[in-house]
Structure 1
Amino acid sequence: MSTQTTDAPASTIGAVARYGLLIGPLLSMIDSSIVNVAVPDIATELTAQLDEVQWVVSGYLLALGVSLALTAYLAKRYGVLRVYTVSMVLFVLASAACAVAPNIEFLIAFRAVQGFVGAPLVPLALSILLGKDGIGGGKVPISAALTLFLAPALGPTLGGLLIGAGGWRWIFIVNVPVGVIGLLLLLRVPTSVGALGSSSARFDPVGFVLLALGLTGALFGATEGTSEGWDSPVSWLPLGLGLALLVGYVFWALRRAHPAVDLQMMRHRNSAIALVLQVFCSVVAFGTVFLLPVFTQSVQGHSAFATGIALLPQGIVMGVATFFGQKLSVRVPLKILVVSGFAILAISSVFLITLEQDTPLWATALILSGRAIAIGLVTAPLLVAMLAPLPEDQLADGNTLFNITQRLGGSIGVSILGSVVAGGATLAATIDSFHLVGAILVAIAVVAGIVSLFLTQDRSTPVRSVSPLGE
């Protein structure tokens, strides 16, 4: 497959085009979690049962899993920027349809469409930004790192604010003007960026079926684990079958010349280790920012607005940490930087064990900010290390694989941790459950730090760097 070169230097394109490429991933990631807080309101207005409304959440995730299995092929066949643009247009239209849903069946159907067309937005935007001839000039904007971890975490809080201001339909309505702005900003993106499409790209039907069914099974099982409990066959059976199919896909893909998603990057030591570490990071990051709002609202009695304010500082801190992580990566070996990041993550997670009913929100904000420092130091360098060995025409595969593991690892991790918290029958037991979750997250961070010791600094491979948005 051929690749393209820019028709203008990255420096002359500026931040506007990058914002255009990040609005799509931002909306897609937020929408994976924003509906969670709207379930009761949707059930009331559309006169639906709660188990029906849950499919508004599950349908999105399952359709997303199927679409991720197609993303790499579509990018190779039709071109990265073209597929991204079409996905963005369809995502805005699907959001508008969800906003005017007359009944629950209509809403479930178009939420599935929304998930299907929104799945390519994250990996394809990153492919363009990371391409050596693309807008980012091989650099990862800080805003991209924030999108990967902060956007889905803020979904429930943002959803609560929108529902309080105008009702549940506003969580979809807001996507329309923001999405249109993103499409207008895409006009500043040169049509020559990203890998070109090629009629010689081959579709892998067997690999697609294995990957699509594996992802939908695993995501569905993880989703049901929180609501039904892990002792229910509805949870562990689809999760087990899904993971088995995904293992089967790995063996299939490594023996195919043109698999649905190329896994050749896993043959590179740093890429494989970085991918595993990103899964650990996803579990620790998502686990906290999804569960802490539950703690502050259900245990401490704070409002969704107050909780949202407490969550905001971590975004600023993560941006600053990513910036300094970029500066340090030039002088500090990858192994030392990542190990230090996970060490900070473990230390800051220890304070989760001290949370009590009367813990002030500013203290919670400090704990989250300490964790944001660590995630800012770890996320972008690992993403760079994972994708560094890949040529331009394999970036869509690499970013799709990254997005699959991040979403799958985050979903399963949050579901398991959520089940631990849900086991508390009394207020004291619930607080103890949150302390146990804190201990688990500390253990995960420590294990990740140990695994990080096996990273190497490969001087033979040109390493993509991380840059702030305006550079």
Structure 2
Amino acid sequence: MNPSTNSAALPPLTGGKLVLATLAVALATFMNVLDSSIANVAIPTISGNLGVSIDEGTWVITLFAAANAIAIPLTGWLTQRVGQIKLFVWAILLFVLSSWLCGIAPTLPILLGARILQGAVAGPLIPLSQAILLGSYPKEKSSHALALWAMTATVGPIAGPALGGWITDSYSWSWIFYINIPVGIFAAGVTWFIYRTRETPTRKLPIDKVGLLSLIAWVASLQIMLDKGKDLDWFHSPVIIALTVFAAISFTFFVIWELTEKNPIVDIKLFKGRNFLGGTVAISVAYAVFFSNLVILPQWMQGYLNYRSVDAGLVTAPLGIFAVILAPVMAKIMPKSDARVLATLAFLGFAAVFFMRSHYTTDVDTFTLVLPTLLQGIPTALFFVPLTAIILSGLPQDRIPAAAGLSNFVRVFAGAVGTSLVATGWNNRTILHHAQLAEQTSVNNPVFTGSINSLQGALGGSTDQAMAFFERSLNAQAAMLGLNDIFWLSAVIFIIIVPLIWVTKPSKAGGAAAAGAGGH
């Protein structure tokens, strides 16, 4: 959410102070964005070191996102209670503390607890960084300020996987969290030094305690249900059934309460607007597919192609190259363009990229892996800001902060849910393909026995060795076919959700860039 402030009444910053302030605020943004992608390539290593499965390791990502989503709607209320600058500085310092706790975590439950804290305190960082930067620049330079902000937010996904892979391979996975400590302390110190005299007015507002508790209840129970479902055999487990029923009841209560509450924590009535509804559903489904694929791709490369963490990171890093190159171009063409056209081109671009990936094989070369990732930067550049412009278009100024907060909440939580669903889907399809391939492995099948004899000769070993090698190849092939199914389905989903964009009314993409670039 971009809380409304009185900082506009203060004179803009100038000279060296402005440069230093921009650097500090941008670093806080970078630290947050980096943390949402840096762990992706480290999950296999973290899982191995803590003695848990990769599926359990993925909770490091999903629980961070779920906690982050819950915290976003609180930003406006906290800003008015504490003040914009104090809240921003405290959020950075708590982020530093939780990063240190993540780094020293000896077990998965402690690491997950620290990640939940880290996700929660990260909630205000993105929207407040935008608001503080906008208040620091002259009105006529606001687009310049947002361009600088967007560049920082875009560099995170480029640097995250490569940096995370290098740190994990060269040092220890703990250092992917420790690097936040010097960055955060510098950002907090400089921000306080420059902005402490530019604090926003505070006032005591009632908080919707019932709404907040019911929000936490349904988000937490739904996320735990999705993360634990596979381990507990889904709806054959009374625990999963209980979590599902509890999530459904608490969600229903939450919706009814928020519709009747005078000061709701989430303004659900915003969904009555055609543009808000269509745009929010479109950006959330798209982000869920986009983010979840970024999580499983490095896991597959490390688990089945024997890529090191750093190599998996370098393969996924080119995603942001075109996004950075096209940022200034987009700033020029968006005010003159229909946001629906730009968003449609983005979705079709994503569909093409995932269709390319759906043809991967187990002996895929590095160039074939890198090319779709590089090209994915083009639709990424066309993705966030036009859809945000659609979401916020036609809303009165006083409802824009609430709308930006709610759409960001739905999008971030969709990313967490999507990651859980895609991880489960990949596992289920892999099991199915393994069973189908294994049907051919019969001693009565001359092709199979011929393959085993050839392997035995090539390896110069026993039948058991040949069978073990064949089983490894079978597992890799099944995982590849399962992943291809996920890629193909992802491409189909991007095409299916295009009509959601055209349910909305026409909107120019220029005006609302501020509120929603926080998607990266």
Alignment TM class, shorter chain as reference: 0.7 to 0.9
Q: 1:442 aligns with which of 491, 494, 501?
A: 491
Q: 2:275 aligns with which of 270, 276, 293?
A: 270
- Could you tell me which residue of structure 1 aligns to residue 11 of structure 2? 8
Measure the CA separation in 2 of the matches of 1:158 and 1:248: 43
Cα deviation, residue 192, structure 1: 7.7
Local SS of the residue matching 1:141: helix
- Could you tell me which residue of structure 1 aligns to residue 354 of structure 2? 349
> Within the alignment, does 1:251 sit opposite 2:256 as a pair?
yes
Shift of the 126–177 alpha-carbon distance from structure 1 to 2, 3 Å rule, reads same
- Could you tell me which residue of structure 1 aligns to residue 385 of structure 2? 380
Cα deviation digits, residues 73-114 of structure 1 (max 9, x gap): 212322333312211112112323443457777655544433
> Within the alignment, does 1:340 sit opposite 2:336 as a pair?
no
Shift of the 247–125 alpha-carbon distance from structure 1 to 2, 3 Å rule, reads farther
- Could you tell me which residue of structure 2 aligns to residue 81 of structure 1? 85
- Could you tell me which residue of structure 2 aligns to residue 300 of structure 1? 305
Q: Counting helix residues as a fraction of each chain, which structure ranks higher?
A: 2
Mapping of 1:32-431 within 5 angstroms? 32=36, 34=39, 36-40=43-47, 42-43=49-50, 60=64, 63-64=67-68, 66-68=70-72, 70-101=74-105, 109-128=113-132, 137=142, 141-142=146-147, 151=156, 158-187=163-192, 190=195, 196-199=201-204, 201-225=205-229, 228=232, 230-231=234-235, 233=237, 234=239, 237-238=242-243, 241-242=246-247, 244-389=249-394, 394=399, 396-423=401-428, 424=430, 425=434, 426-431=475-480
Residue range with higher mean Cα deviation, 162-171 or 152-161 = 152-161
Q: Is the 8 A contact 2:27 2:183 kept in 1?
A: yes
Measure the CA separation in 1 of the matches of 2:422 and 2:517: 33
Cα deviation, residue 258, structure 1: 0.9
Shift of the 330–105 alpha-carbon distance from structure 1 to 2, 3 Å rule, reads closer
Q: Is the 8 A contact 2:327 2:381 kept in 1?
A: yes
- Could you tell me which residue of structure 1 aligns to residue 440 of structure 2? none
Cα deviation digits, residues 48-93 of structure 1 (max 9, x gap): 9999988766765565455445333212322333312211112112
Corresponding letter in the other structure for 2:288:
V
Corresponding letter in the other structure for 2:84:
V
Shift of the 184–294 alpha-carbon distance from structure 1 to 2, 3 Å rule, reads same
Cα deviation, residue 259, structure 1: 0.6
Corresponding letter in the other structure for 2:283:
Q
Local SS of the residue matching 2:220: helix
Corresponding letter in the other structure for 1:85:
V
Cα deviation, residue 174, structure 1: 0.9
Cα deviation, residue 377, structure 1: 0.4
Measure the CA separation in 1 of the matches of 2:244 and 2:151: 29
Shift of the 64–360 alpha-carbon distance from structure 1 to 2, 3 Å rule, reads same
Q: Is the 8 A contact 2:388 2:513 kept in 1?
A: no
Measure the CA separation in 1 of the matches of 2:209 and 2:161: 36
Shift of the 62–337 alpha-carbon distance from structure 1 to 2, 3 Å rule, reads closer
Residue range with higher mean Cα deviation, 162-171 or 437-446 = 162-171
Work out which of the two has the higher radius of gyration on C-alpha atoms and give 1 or 2: 2
Measure the CA separation in 2 of the matches of 1:330 and 1:62: 33
Q: Is the 8 A contact 1:153 1:290 kept in 2?
A: no
Shift of the 454–106 alpha-carbon distance from structure 1 to 2, 3 Å rule, reads closer
Q: Is the 8 A contact 2:284 2:411 kept in 1?
A: yes
Q: Is the 8 A contact 1:126 1:399 kept in 2?
A: no
Unmatched runs of 5 consecutive residues or more in structure 1: none
Measure the CA separation in 2 of the matches of 1:40 and 1:149: 28
Measure the CA separation in 2 of the matches of 1:137 and 1:256: 35
- Could you tell me which residue of structure 2 aligns to residue 28 of structure 1? 32
Measure the CA separation in 1 of the matches of 2:65 and 2:517: 30
Measure the CA separation in 2 of the matches of 1:103 and 1:287: 24
Measure the CA separation in 1 of the matches of 2:293 and 2:236: 25
Cα deviation digits, residues 190-249 of structure 1 (max 9, x gap): 4587964322x2211111111111221222223334655645645565356435533542
Q: Is the 8 A contact 1:226 1:418 kept in 2?
A: no
Q: Is the 8 A contact 1:66 1:213 kept in 2?
A: no
Measure the CA separation in 2 of the matches of 1:134 and 1:392: 20
> How many residues are treated as equivalent by the alignment?
464
Cα deviation, residue 406, structure 1: 1.9
Cα deviation digits, residues 263-320 of structure 1 (max 9, x gap): 4443432222221111122122112211221232223222221221122221111222
Shift of the 104–277 alpha-carbon distance from structure 1 to 2, 3 Å rule, reads closer
Shift of the 217–105 alpha-carbon distance from structure 1 to 2, 3 Å rule, reads closer
Shift of the 232–402 alpha-carbon distance from structure 1 to 2, 3 Å rule, reads farther
Corresponding letter in the other structure for 1:447:
I
Measure the CA separation in 2 of the matches of 1:147 and 1:247: 38
TM-score (norm 2): 0.76
Local SS of the residue matching 1:259: coil
Q: Is the 8 A contact 1:278 1:382 kept in 2?
A: yes
Shift of the 227–321 alpha-carbon distance from structure 1 to 2, 3 Å rule, reads farther
Residue range with higher mean Cα deviation, 309-318 or 262-271 = 262-271
Cα deviation, residue 450, structure 1: 1.5
Residue range with higher mean Cα deviation, 174-183 or 236-245 = 236-245
